[in-house]
Amino acid sequence: MRILVLGSGAVAVSADGGRWVLLNASPDLGAQRRELPALHARGTPIKAVVLTDAQIDHVAGLLSLREGPPVELYCTPCVFEDLTGGLPLLPALQHYCGVHWHLVPVAGEERAADFRIEAVPGLRLRALALDGDAPPYSPHRHDPAVGDSIALVVEDVAGGESLFYAPGLAQLGEAEHAAMSGASCVLVDGTFWTDDAMSDAGLGPLARLPVPRKLLVHVDHGHPILDEDSAERRALRRHGVEVAHDGMEIDL
Nearest in space to 203 (alpha carbons), one of 238, 234, 241: 241
**Burial class of residue 17 in the structure, from the number of CB atoms within 10 Å of its CB (0-12 exposed, 13-18 middle, 19+ buried):** exposed
Residue 248 three-state SS: coil
Question: Measured between alpha carbons, how far is 106 from 146 in angstroms, rounded to an integer?
Answer: 7
At 165, which helix (H) or strand (E)?
A: strand 162-166
Question: Measured between alpha carbons, how far is 216 from 26 in angstroms, rounded to an integer?
Answer: 16
CB atoms within 10 A of CB 120: 22
State how beta strands 99-103 and 71-75 pair. parallel
User: pTM, whole model, 2 decimals?
Assistant: 0.92
Q: What is the pLDDT along the chain (252 residues), one digit of tens a residue?
A: 999 999 888 999 999 999 999 999 999 999 988 888 888 776 679 999 999 999 999 999 999 999 999 999 999 999 999 999 999 999 999 999 999 999 999 999 999 999 999 999 999 999 999 998 899 999 888 899 999 999 999 999 999 999 999 998 877 788 888 999 999 999 988 765 554 555 444 446 677 788 989 998 866 665 666 667 777 777 777 778 888 888 899 999
Contact 68, 29 (CB under 8 A): no
Structural domains for the chain? 2-251 (3.60.15.10)
Beta bridge partners of 5: 11
CB atoms within 10 A of CB 242: 15
Contact 180, 169 (CB under 8 A): no
Question: Measured between alpha carbons, how far is 127 from 136 in angstroms, rounded to an integer?
Answer: 23
Q: What is the DSSP letter of 62?
A: G
Q: What is the four-CA torsion angle of 146, 5, 243, 201, rounded to 10 degrees?
A: 0
